[in-house]
Structure 1
Amino acid sequence: MKKYDCLFFDLDRTLWDVDLNQKEALRVMYARYGLEQSGADFETCFSLYAASNARLWDEYRDGKVSREVLRDTRFEEMLAGIGIRDAALTRALSDAYVRLAPTFTNLIPHARQVARALAARYPMYIVTNGFVEVQHVKLANCGLSDCFRDIVCSEEAGANKPSPIIFEHALRRAGVGRERVLMIGDDYETDIAGAVRSGIDSVWFNPAGKPAGAEKPTLEIRSLDELTARL
Structure 2
Amino acid sequence: MRAPLRWVLWDVKDTLLRVRLSVGEQYCKEAEQMGLSLTSVEVNAAFSQAHQHYSSKYPNYGLTQGLNGQSWWMGVVRETFSHCGVQDAALLNTMAQNLYQNFCSAENWEVFPDSKKALESCSALGLKLGVVSNFDSRLEEILRVCGLLSCFSFLITSEESRVAKPSPVIFKKALQKCGVPAASVAHIGDHYVNDYLSSRSVGIQGFLLDRHKLNNPAVPQEHRLSSLQELPLRLHQHMD
Q: Secondary structure at the match of 1:143?
A: coil
Q: Does 1:103 align with 2:108?
A: no
Q: Of 154, 157, 171, which residue of structure 1 is paired with 2:161?
A: 157
Q: Does 1:88 align with 2:95?
A: no
Shift of 1:97: 1.8
State the identity as a percent: 23
TM (normalized to structure 2)?
A: 0.80
The AA in structure 2 aligned to 1:124 is L
* Inter-CA distance 55–210: structure 2 relative to 1 (3 Å threshold): farther
Matches within 5 A, 1:1-231: 3-18=4-19, 20=21, 22=23, 25-36=26-37, 40-49=38-47, 51-52=48-49, 55=52, 59=56, 65-66=62-63, 67=69, 70-104=72-106, 105-121=109-125, 122-132=127-137, 134-210=138-214, 212=216, 219-231=223-235
Once the two structures are overlaid, the 10-residue window that deviates more, 74-83 or 141-150, is 74-83
Shift of 1:163: 0.8
Residues 56-103 of structure 1, C-alpha deviations (whole Å, 9 max, x = no match): 575389559454664134223321232112333333222222211121
Shift of 1:54: 5.3
Q: Is the 8 A contact 2:129 2:153 kept in 1?
A: yes
Aligned residues: 226
Root-mean-square deviation (CA, aligned residues, Å) is: 3.0
Q: Is the 8 A contact 1:61 1:161 kept in 2?
A: no
* C-alpha distance in structure 1 between counterparts of 2:53 and 2:124, whole Å: 37
Residues 170-214 of structure 1, C-alpha deviations (whole Å, 9 max, x = no match): 111122211110010011121112112222111101122346486
Structure 2: gaps of 5 or more residues: 64-68, 236-240
* C-alpha distance in structure 1 between counterparts of 2:145 and 2:25, whole Å: 15
What is aligned with 2:238? Answer: none
Once the two structures are overlaid, the 10-residue window that deviates more, 62-71 or 147-156, is 62-71
Q: Is the 8 A contact 1:157 1:165 kept in 2?
A: no
